């Protein structure tokens, strides 16, 4: 067994008044933990913030595209190319045939908030659910569309599927294509929902939008909600699965891990960021390596604690970690970055190192 199969990251991060991840009512997401209401940031929100961050883009690593509307995209212009070359009826038929490789198709519906060109409305040229396309799959689709003179053959369609995508977000977070389980990717990285260590109450923020040319009142009044909290974030990385998903490319695996750790430490979901400027960075990171069974340390905060002393939060996390390490097989090694003690983010990156 790989002596360093599992890399575990435990992060503590303090958010000022903010609402980075909203529920269907526009309120901060919450969860009941230990009998008290906590603020919550979903793992989906965290992963999207990381994979779409400038950090990942500047690393030059392959990142897939998750969408229902690949053929509607102005960036690729796929439906437009088919429409121009083959006419309306065949363009729709060919688009449906290509997308059907990945999922069931659906008709385009009008959108009030983001109007869609009339040429798309009513056409069956989107997928029912978002599909996480790899870069290679998109390139294959673009190539097929560019050279398509007649209805695509079964062989041409089957060739579109990338059964071993090398994009780092697919390798880390996985994908499921119900219609084509042979193209599913088992996630190598598990991300827990971020949970506040402190009990929270959702507060109301009454605001007005002032009309510069109307000096006798506001142009709009409204309310939005916010919370402030210290969050515990946990990630578990199966390096064996990550290497497998990336074709045993050691350098790509190392680069992808570095991108993930940088993003997890420094990137927050962007919901309401312009209103609250919650540009947060972790004040504490504990990284662990080994082949021992991974464990989430959220029990450290099962009883809500005040969020006015980050040092106490660090001490509480380490107390529970030590208890687990005494009762069970402990990870092989660990490294800390502590804003109130020692260590840097680069130390964490160096510690994780080559897998």
- Asked if residue 299 is part of any domain, the answer here is yes
Q: What does the pLDDT read at residue 113? A: 64
Pair 334, 196 in one domain: yes
Pair 155, 22 in one domain: no
Length of the chain: 355
What is the rounded CA–CA span in Å between residue 229 and residue 145? 50
- Asked if residue 172 is part of any domain, the answer here is no
Name the H helices within the chain. 43-51, 54-58, 78-86, 88-99, 135-147, 154-158, 168-173, 239-245, 250-266, 273-276, 310-327, 345-352
Q: What does the pLDDT read at residue 328? A: 96
What is the rounded CA–CA span in Å between residue 41 and residue 22? 8
Beta strands at 131-133 and 203-210: parallel, antiparallel or unpaired = unpaired
Neighbour count for residue 342 (Cβ, 10 Å): 9
Helix (H) or strand (E) holding 159: none
CB 177 within 8 A of CB 283: no
Q: For helices 250-266 and 345-352, what crossing angle results, to 10°?
A: 150
CB 37 within 8 A of CB 200: yes
Q: Residue 13: which domain range?
A: 6-63+188-352
- Asked if residue 264 is part of any domain, the answer here is yes
What is the rounded CA–CA span in Å between residue 288 and residue 215? 59
Pair 208, 348 in one domain: yes
- Asked if residue 178 is part of any domain, the answer here is no
Q: How many domains does the chain have?
A: 2
Residues forming a β-bridge with 114 = none
- Asked if residue 318 is part of any domain, the answer here is yes
Beta strands at 6-18 and 284-290: parallel, antiparallel or unpaired = antiparallel
In sequence order, the 6+-apart residues with CB closer than 8 A to the CB of 47 are 169, 173, 191
Pair 196, 58 in one domain: yes
Pair 200, 333 in one domain: yes
Pair 32, 86 in one domain: no
In sequence order, the 6+-apart residues with CB closer than 8 A to the CB of 114 are none
CB 284 within 8 A of CB 301: no
CB 50 within 8 A of CB 264: yes
Beta strands at 203-210 and 284-290: parallel, antiparallel or unpaired = unpaired
- Asked if residue 181 is part of any domain, the answer here is no
- Asked if residue 266 is part of any domain, the answer here is yes
Residue where a domain terminates, one of 149, 164, 179: 164
Pair 76, 141 in one domain: yes
Question: HSE (CB half, 13 Å, CA atoms) of 271?
Answer: 22
What is the rounded CA–CA span in Å between residue 242 and residue 5? 10
Pair 76, 41 in one domain: no
Of residues 39, 37, 47, 38, the one with CA closest to residue 22: 39
* pLDDT tens digit at each of 355 positions of the chain: 468 899 999 999 999 999 898 888 888 899 999 999 999 999 999 999 999 999 888 767 889 999 999 999 989 999 999 999 999 999 999 999 999 999 999 999 887 666 778 888 999 999 999 999 999 999 999 999 999 999 999 999 999 998 888 899 999 999 998 888 888 999 999 999 999 999 999 888 887 788 888 777 777 777 888 889 999 999 999 999 999 999 999 999 999 999 999 999 999 998 888 888 889 999 999 999 999 999 999 999 999 999 999 999 999 999 999 999 999 999 999 999 999 999 999 999 999 986 6
Q: What does the pLDDT read at residue 320? A: 98
Pair 216, 147 in one domain: no
- Asked if residue 283 is part of any domain, the answer here is yes
What is the rounded CA–CA span in Å between residue 327 and residue 278? 38
Neighbour count for residue 257 (Cβ, 10 Å): 23
Pair 224, 316 in one domain: yes
Of residues 97, 152, 103, the one with CA closest to residue 130: 103
- pTM of the shown model: 0.91
Pair 252, 297 in one domain: yes
Pair 157, 197 in one domain: no
Neighbour count for residue 208 (Cβ, 10 Å): 11
Q: What does the pLDDT read at residue 1? A: 47
């Amino acid at each position: 067994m790989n002596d360093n199969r599992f890399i575990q990251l435990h992060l503590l991060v303090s958010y000022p008044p903010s609402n980075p991840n909203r529920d269907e009512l526009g309120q901060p997401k919450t969860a009941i933990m230990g009998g008290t209401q906590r603020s919550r940031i979903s793992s989906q929100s965290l992963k999207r913030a990381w994979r779409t961050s400038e950090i990942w883009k500047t690393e030059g690593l392959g990142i897939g595209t998750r969408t229902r509307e690949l053929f509607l995209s102005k960036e690729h212009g796929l439906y437009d190319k088919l429409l121009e070359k083959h006419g309306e009826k065949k363009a729709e038929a060919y688009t449906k045939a290509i997308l059907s490789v990945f999922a069931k198709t659906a008709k385009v519906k009008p959108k009030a908030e983001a109007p869609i060109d009339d040429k798309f409305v009513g056409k069956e040229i989107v997928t029912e659910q978002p599909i996480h396309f790899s870069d290679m799959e998109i390139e294959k689709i673009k190539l097929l569309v560019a050279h398509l003179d007649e209805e695509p053959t079964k062989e041409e369609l089957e060739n579109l599927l990338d059964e071993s995508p090398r994009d780092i977000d697919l390798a880390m977070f996985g994908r499921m294509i119900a219609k084509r389980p042979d193209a599913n990717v088992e996630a190598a990285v598990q991300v827990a929902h971020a949970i506040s260590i402190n009990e929270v109450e959702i507060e109301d923020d009454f605001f007005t939008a002032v009309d510069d040319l109307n000096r006798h009142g506001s142009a709009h009044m409204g309310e939005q909600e916010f919370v402030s909290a210290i969050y515990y974030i946990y990630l578990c990385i199966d390096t064996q699965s990550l290497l497998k998903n990336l074709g045993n490319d050691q350098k790509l695996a190392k680069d992808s891990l570095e991108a993930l750790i940088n993003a997890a430490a420094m990137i927050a979901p962007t919901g309401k960021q312009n209103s609250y400027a919650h540009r947060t960075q972790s004040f504490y990171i504990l990284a662990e390596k080994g082949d021992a069974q991974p464990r989430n340390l959220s029990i450290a905060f099962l009883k809500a604690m005040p969020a006015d002393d980050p040092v106490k939060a660090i001490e509480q996390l380490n107390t529970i970690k030590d208890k687990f390490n005494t009762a069970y097989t402990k990870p092989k090694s660990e490294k800390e970055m502590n804003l109130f003690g020692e260590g840097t983010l680069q130390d964490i990156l160096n510690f994780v190192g080559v897998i």
